[in-house]
Structure 1
Amino acid sequence: MLVCSRMELYATVVCEVMAETAASKDYDALTSFLGDYGCFQILMMVLLSLSAVPPGYMGVLAVFVADTPGYRCRAPPLNSTLNDSGSSSSATTPGPDSCSRYRLSCNGTGVSNDTETCAHGWDYSTDVYINTIVTEWDLVCDNAWKVPMSTSLFFLGFLAGCAGNGHASDRFGRKKVFFLTTILHALTALLQAASVNWIMFAILNLLRGYSQNYSVSHILGSELLGKSSRVTFCLIGHCIGYAVGYAMLPLLAYFIRSWRMLQVASAIPSLLLLPLWWVIPESPRWLLHQGHVEEAEHVIRNAAKINKISAPDVIFNSEDCLEFKKVKGENQRKYSYMDFMHIPNLRNTVIVGFFLCVSVNIVFYGMSLNTSNLTGNIYLNCFTSAVIEIVAYVANWPLIKWFPRPTVICCTMMFSGVMLMFIQLVPEDMPVLVQVFALGGKMGVSCSFGVIFLFFTELIPTVVRNMGLGAITTVSHTGTIICPYILYLGIHFKALPFLILGLFSIVAAASSMLLPDTRNSKLPDLISQTRPIRSCCSQKESGNETTMV
C-alpha cells in the first residue's frame, strides 16, 4: 500500500513536470516581439537608473554629516577666572588631549599637573565645515560613541527595510513599495534637518535607512526588461546611477558646509522622482504571477506602442501558460520565509548568499565610510572613491560576458583582500601608498558589489525573488551595522580595520565558488527552476523532486 502510494505520488510529480515543460511558455519568449533596446527599454533603464541616485549617497551621508573636525577645550568665561580681589584664581590651558585641560595654579603663577574635564564645552575647527552633528551636540570624548551609533542605526533601518520592503513588494507590488519608500526618504531627510537633539536625529536615521529602495528598483527594472537589456541595466545603468549618487555627495558637501542644509539637499532627488509614478509601470511578471493577466497585457501593449511596433492579438494565453494560471500552480500559493527552509535548492542558495553578501557589504560600506580617515582632502578622497566605483562597474560589463559570475566575484574579492592586507606592510611615513592600496581594495569590492544583485536576481525565482533578496540583504546588513565600529578600532591601531576588511574579502571570495553560474540562463520564474549549489549533497534531480513534492 505504501509502495503504491509512493508510486502514485512519483507519477503525479513526473506528470506535473512534463506538463509544465510542454505546456508552459517562457515569459521572455512571449514578449520577445518588444526587442531588447527599444524606446521603452531605454526609457525604463534611464529612469530606474536615476532612481538609484538617492541610495548612492544615503549610506555614506554620514561621512560629511557626522564627521568630527579638530576640537579643543573651550576656555571658561573671563569672569569665572577672577577672585574677589580681581586676580586670577583658576584658569586653564590646553591639556594632554582634546578631552581635558590643565588647571592653572591658584596664584596664577604657573600650570599645575592637575587636569579637569572640558566643563565649558569645546571649540571646533571651521576650516572644513560650518557645522556637523558632532559640533551641534558635542559628540566627542564621552559622547563620541553616539557618532558610530547613529550610523549603525541607519544600517539597522536598512536591514529592517530589506526584509519588510521585500515581503511587501512581493505581496503588494514592486511599484507601490518603490514609491512609498521614495516618499519616506524625502520626509525623513527633511525632518532630520529640523532635529532638535541627537535622539531625534538617530530615530529619523533609523527610518531613513528603512527607506532604502535600491533592491526594489533593481527588481522592478530586472522584471520589466528582457535578458540582454536586463544585464545592461543591472551592471551598467543601475550601478552607475548608484555611483553617480555617491559622486554627487562630495560635490554637494563642498558647496554646502552646514549639515542641516546638506540634509535638505539630499531630499531633493527623491522628490524629483515622485512624478515618475505616471511613467514607470508595475512589473508584468509580478502581475502575471498574481493572476492579473489583463493588467500585464496592458503594460506590454503600452511598451509596444512606445516602441512603435504591433503587439499580437493575444500575448498571454492563460489556458496555455501553466505558470500564469490563477486556478492552480506555484503562483497560486502565497509563499512565506518558512518555505526557504523547506526547499533544499532555495535554502542552500540563500545560506551561501548570506555568507557572501555579509562579507561584500561589510567591505564595501567599510571602505566607503572610511573615506574621512584617509590622508588628504576629504572631498577629493570621496569623489575619487566614487569615480573608482564607476570604473569598476564599467569593467564588469566585459568580465560578465567573458567569465562565469562566481569566477568574477571570487577574483575581484580576492584582489580586494590582497590590497587591504598589504596596507599593514606600508610604513607610516608613506600615507600615499596606503591610499593607493585602499582605493585598489575599493575597486575590487565595487566590482563584486555591482555583480552580486544581478547574480542573485538570476538565482532566485520570480515568485519569491523580492523575499529572497530581502532575506539575503537583511542578513548582509547585520554586518554593515558593525562597520562604523570596525572603523572606530582604527583609533587604537590604524591598520586593524583594513586587516578585518581584508579577511572578509577572502571569505567572500571562497564562498562565491559554491554558487552555480547563471550566464546565458533564463530568469527563473518557478521554485522548481531553482538551481542547486555546487555540492555533492545537493543534486538537481533530487532537489527538484523534493521541491515539487
Structure 2
Amino acid sequence: MNDYDKNTAFLGQWGRFQQMVFFLLCASIVPNGFAAFSVVFLTDVPSHHCMVPEVNLTRDWRNAIIPIEVVNGKPRLKRCHRYRLDVVRNLSAQGLFPDRDVNLTDLEQESCVNGWSYSRDIYQSTIVSEFDLVCSDLWKQPFTSTVYFLGVLIGSFISGQISDRFGRKPVFFATMAIQTVFSFVPIFSPSWTVFSILLFTSGLGQISNYVAAFVLGTEIFTGNVRVMFSSLGVCLGFAIGYMTLPLLAYFLRDWKSLLLAISLPGLLYLPLWWFIPESPLWLLSQGRVEEAETIVREAAKMNKVEAPQVIFDQDYSVCADDTKAHPRQHHNVFNLLRTKDIRNTTLILCLVWFTLSTGYFFLSLNTSRLHSDPYLSCFISAAVEVPAYISSWLALRYLPRRLSTIFVLLLGGVSLYFIQLVPESLSNLSIALEMLGKFGISTGTALMFAYTAELYPTVLRNTASGTCTTVSRVGSCIAPSLIHLSEYFKYLPYITVGTLAVMSAFAAFFLPESFGRPLPQTIQQMHSMKFPFITRKDRSKPVVLFESQL
C-alpha cells in the first residue's frame, strides 16, 4: 500500500506552494462569515406600532392613540393594535382630552389597518419593515432564518457526494459562485416569498463552499500544517468575516446595502481558479496518477526542491485492495453505514455535530440578549470565537481528539446549565457564562471538522464531512425556533442545549482515537483504528470487504 504523505515528503510542509494555497483557501472562507449570520441584521425586528394616517387629531390624541402594554416589566407601545380611529377622531373633534375626559381602557381597539410605522433608531430598514413581517405575519421572521439553514442543510448533503465524485476544486468554485450570486439577487425581491427562495439558494452554496475548501486543504497539506489549517486557518477566516459583519451592518443600515456589501467580495475570488489546484489525493483515488503527479511536480518547482524521477507508481492506489481492478468505484452515503465500526462512528459523530450546531447557532442568533446594541452584541459573540479557535488548534496539536471533544462539550453544557442559577441582578455573570458556553461549543465545532476528516478514508472523507454537516444543519434549522422557547420558560433553551452537550460528551467516549495517526486512505485502514471497549478477540477478526463496500 502506498503512503501519499511519504511519497510527497520531499515537498516539505511549509514551502511557497503550501503558503499560497493556505492563505488563498483561508481568504475564500471570509465571505462565509458574512453570509452565515447576515440574517441577524436582515431579519431583526425594529420597534414598531400601528401607523396613524394624517387626519384631524389634536396632539394629545395623536400621542395617545396607541395603547400601552407592559412587557417584561417595562411599558411600551402596543405593536399590533390602536384605538379605533373613527372613535378617536370624533372625541378629538368634541374637544375631549384622553385620560382626563375619556377613560382610554373603555375605548375599542382595532388592528393596524393602515400598516405600521417602524423606528429608524437602529436600522434604516430590514426585511421585516420591507415586507411587514409583524403581528399575524410575525412567524415569517424566524422562519426566514430556518429557510436559509434548510438551504445550507441540503447543500451540505449534496455537495459532499458531488465533490467525492467530480473533484474538490470544481465543487469549491461552483458553490462559491452560488453563494456570491444569490447573496446579491435577493436585493430585487418583490415579496417575502421570492426573497426566501433566493435566500434558500444562497444557503445551498454557503456551507458547501466551506466544506469543499476544508477538505481540499486537508488533503493538500501534511503534518502540523494540516492541523493548523483544519483548526486555526479556516476557522479564523470564518471568524474574521463574522467580526466584520457587524461593522458593515453598522455603517450600512439598509438591508439591501448590506446584502450588496457581503456579496461583492465573492467576485475577488474568481482568479483563484488558476492558483488553487485539485487535490492530488483525490486524483489518485480516481486512478488519475499522471494528473496528480503533474500537480506535485509544479508544487516542487514553486518550493524550489527537486522531485524524484517517479513520484507515484502507475498502479498507485489510495482506495481499497482491489481498486486496481475498479479504479473509478464511486462511494455514497450508504457506505457510512455498511459495517459496524463505521456505522457506530458515523452515528456518534452525527449526534455530536447536531449538538454543536444547535448550540452554536442558538447562542449566535441570541446575541440581542447580550446588550441593547445589536452591533456590539454580534461583535462580542464573534470575538469569543478567536480564542476558541486558537484553543482548538493547540488541542489538535498536543491533546488526544476524543479527550478534547469530551472536555469542550462538558464545558459548554455545564456553563449553560449554571445560567439559571445566576440572580437577575448579576446579568453580567449570565453573559459571561453564556460566552463561556459559546467558547466551548465553538472550540468543539473547530475540533470536529479536523477529527471527522481524520477518521474517514479518502474515498469517503468528503461524503462523511458533508453528511455530518448536513445532520448538524438540522440543529441550525431549529435554532431560531429554539430561542422562542424562552417565552414559556426563560431558561428552557439553555437547559435543552446543555442536556444535548452532556449526552454528546458521553457518546464521544466511544469514538476511535486518531491523534498521531496518518490520514486513512482505505476503508481497511479505518477499521484498523483503535475503538474503545472492543476486545482483542473482536479486533483480531479479519475485516472482509466486498466489492460493494469499497
Q: Does 1:211 align with 2:211?
A: no
Q: How does 1:142-541 map to 2 (within 5 A)?
A: 142-212=136-206, 213-319=209-315, 323=319, 328=324, 331-530=327-526, 531=529, 533-536=531-534, 539-541=538-540
Within 2, Cα distance between the matches of 1:323 and 1:370?
44
Shift of 1:340: 2.2
How does the TM-score come out when normalised to structure 1? 0.90
Compared CA separation, residues 376 and 523, structure 1 to 2 (3 A): same
The one-letter amino acid paired with 2:476 is T
TM superposition shift of 1:334: 1.6
Query: 1 CA distance for matches of 2:114 and 2:539?
Result: 69
Deviating 4+ runs (over 6 angstroms): 324-327
In the TM superposition, 1:92-131 aligns within 5 A as: 92-96=65-69, 97-103=78-84, 104=87, 106-108=90-92, 109=96, 110=102, 111=104, 112-131=106-125
Q: Report deviation, 1:543.
A: 7.0
For residues 40 and 128 of structure 1, what CA distance do their matches in structure 2 show? 46
Paired residue secondary structure (1:396): helix
Q: Does the CA-based 8 Å contact 2:361-2:479 persist in structure 1?
A: yes
Could you tell me how far apart the structure 2 residues matched to 1:92 and 1:543 are? 80
Q: CA deviation at 1:143?
A: 0.9
Listed one character per residue, the Cα deviations across residues 234-286 of structure 1 (whole Å, up to 9, x for unaligned) are 11111110111111101111111111010011112221111100000000011
Identity of aligned residues (%): 38
Segments of 5+ residues of structure 1 without an aligned counterpart are: 1-23, 83-87
Q: Distance in 2 between matches of 1:323 and 1:420?
A: 44
- Structure 2 letter corresponding to 1:102: Y
2:513–2:531 CA contact under 8 A, matched in 1: no
Assess if the C-alpha contact under 8 Å between 2:408 and 2:440 holds in 1: yes
- The aligned counterpart of 2:75 is none
Q: Secondary structure at the match of 1:544?
A: coil
TM-score normalised by the chain length of structure 2: 0.90
CA apart distance, 1:547: 6.6
Q: Distance in 2 between matches of 1:107 and 1:71?
A: 25
What secondary structure does 2:337 align onto?
helix
Alpha-carbon RMSD across the aligned residues, in angstroms, is: 2.3
Which position in structure 1 is the counterpart of 2:134?
Answer: 140
* 8 Å Cα contact 1:72-1:94 kept in structure 2: no
Secondary structure, aligned partner of 1:334: coil
Which of these residues, 15, 20, 34, is aligned with residue 38 of structure 1? 15
- CA deviation string 1:468-489 (max 9, x = no partner): 1111111121121110000122
User: Cα distance, 1:436 vs. partner?
Assistant: 1.1
Residues 461, 526 of structure 1: 8 Å contact kept:
yes
User: Residue 319 of structure 2 contacts residue 458 of structure 2 at CA under 8 Å; is this kept in 1?
Assistant: no
Checking the alignment, whether the CA contact within 8 Å between 1:330 and 1:526 is kept in structure 2 is: no
CA distance in 2, matches of 1:436, 1:73: 37
1:474-523 Cα distance to aligned partner (Å, 9 max, x none): 11211211100001223443322222222222222222221111111010
Task: State the alpha-carbon separation in 2 of the partners of residues 383 and 265 from structure 1.
Answer: 18
What is the alpha-carbon distance in structure 2 between the residues aligned to residue 532 and residue 415 of structure 1? 26
Q: What SS does the corresponding residue of 1:52 show, helix, strand or coil?
A: helix
Q: Does the Cα contact within 8 Å between 2:284 and 2:316 map onto a contact in 1?
A: no
In 2, are the aligned partners of 1:375 and 1:435 still within 8 Å (CA)? no
8 Å Cα contact 1:324-1:331 kept in structure 2: no
> Residue deviations 1:279-311, cap 9 Å, x none?
000000111111111110111011111101111
Give the 3 Å change call, closer, same or farther, for CA 429–118 of structure 1 in structure 2.
farther
Aligned pairs, how many?
519
Q: Kindly tell me: are residues 65 and 228 of structure 1, through their superposed partners in 2, closer, same or farther at Cα, counting changes over 3 Å? A: same
Which residue is 1:19 aligned to? none
Q: Distance in 2 between matches of 1:420 and 1:231?
A: 29
Out of 433-442 and 449-458, give the one that drifted further: 433-442
Q: CA deviation at 1:329?
A: 5.6
